[in-house]
Amino acid sequence: MDIIVPQVGESIVEAEIGEWFKQDGEQVEQDDLLLELETEKINVELNAESSGKLTILAQQGDIVKIGAVIGRIDESAVGTTTTAEEPASETAEAETAATEQPAMNPAVPKIAAERGIDPTTLKGSGRDGRILVDDIPAATEQPAPSAPPAKETPAVATTSAPADDDRIERVPMTQIRKKIAERLLMARQQTAMLTTFNEIDMSRVISLRNKQKAAFEKKHGVPLGFMSFFVKATAEALKDFPEVNARIDGDDIIYHNYYDIGVAVGSKRGLVVPVIRDADQLRFDAIEKTIRGFAEKAQSGKLSLDDLQGGTFTISNGGIYGSVLSTPLLNPPQSGILGMHAIKDRAVVIDGEIVVRPIMNIALSYDHRIIDGQQAVGFLKQLKTYIEDPEEMLLEM
């Protein structure tokens, strides 16, 4: 039986062999996890569709087309076992030893060896404890185990090797990172991007959240965060300024009469933007559960293509990383993206008095080809109004 690269989306034409979890010539059982494919949008795991002996035809790092044959399973070899007792015992011991070693990405042993680290001592942060390349630098910060004192030997003159190789590291870009780079460059080169700013007094929404969060979590099983307020407020503001929810298609402008809000989520594989469908029709608890589900799936690499496709507008929250101001890049073909930032106490003047209020800077990057400055500023002002008066517009708990 051929192992074929599956069709994972209309726009995806190729994939990269991420990692084989079985060895060439190994006996596999039906439904065993065989390999992971990396595409420009998602990673896909392939399982064995039958039992037999595995033959690998495409290696880790190879770029393969959709529909390509990357391996075969010889079903006639099902049940083949060794007959000699002693070799079988040795094989079993070897397999046991192999399973005791932690799973790791293929590049880990080489990079760890170059840095003088035993990769089996590393603690993996990947799925099921898998050791990733990112786990190696952290290990260098840990003290190495003490070694027994060595016997004194006469000093020997040595010549230091060139340090250039130790000062740089070349790692191939993943398919997802390549796509991110391509789309970010596209946003700069193919749009007339401009950014406008405003600030929001978060006092009332913080007060409302503090008042409702215990009852909300008890009732719905998820914490009440600020993102759900912004998703709801954004959807309502987009209704008032439809150009911000539109996109250009050739010489036409496509207006979307629905509000599918993408939420930028960071993961070890890069930035992904899963989409909250019909956000204007969802209650707060549904939004919070959807966002939490996306975050969990992003970290485990299990976001589906359906989770990522579409979207009419994007929200990026740099505030969770401490950002106080930024100019977010558009997510083509969308024409607008909202940037949220960290909440900081600041002195402001209200009714002639200087008071301290929790303030969040917000930014709207937009395509000036279809969105005028008046519309962009008006959108942020409307969003500001909704957030600063949450009881009237957003209290649907």
Look-up: residue for tokens 């970290």?
Answer: 299
Which residues are within 8 A (CB) of 148 and not within 5 positions of it... i.e. 6 or more apart?
Answer: none
Quote the tokens at residue 262: 């993408």
DSSP assignment string, 108-150: HHHHHHHTT--GGGSPP-SGGG-B-TTHHHHHHTSPPPPPPPP
Our answer to whether residue 368 is catalytic in this structure is yes
How many whole angstroms separate alpha carbon 103 and alpha carbon 105?
7
Contact predicate 58/18, CB 8 Å: no
* Alpha-carbon 4 to chain mean position: 26
Q: Between β-strands 261-263 and 275-276, what pairing exists: parallel, antiparallel or unpaired?
A: antiparallel
| Residue tagged active-site, from 62, 118, 372, 389 | 372
Which residues are within 8 A (CB) of 357 and not within 5 positions of it... i.e. 6 or more apart?
Answer: 201, 202, 203, 345, 346, 348, 350
Judged by DSSP in three states, 320 sits in helix
Our answer to whether residue 372 is catalytic in this structure is yes
Nearest to 59, CA basis, from 30, 110, 24, 105 = 24
Quote the tokens at residue 387: 């957030």
Quote the tokens at residue 344: 């900081």
How many whole angstroms separate alpha carbon 204 and alpha carbon 149?
65
Contact predicate 283/397, CB 8 Å: yes
| Residue tagged active-site, from 62, 118, 166, 368 | 368
Backbone angles phi, psi at 129, to 5 degrees: 80, 10
Question: What are the residue numbers of the active site?
Answer: 368, 372
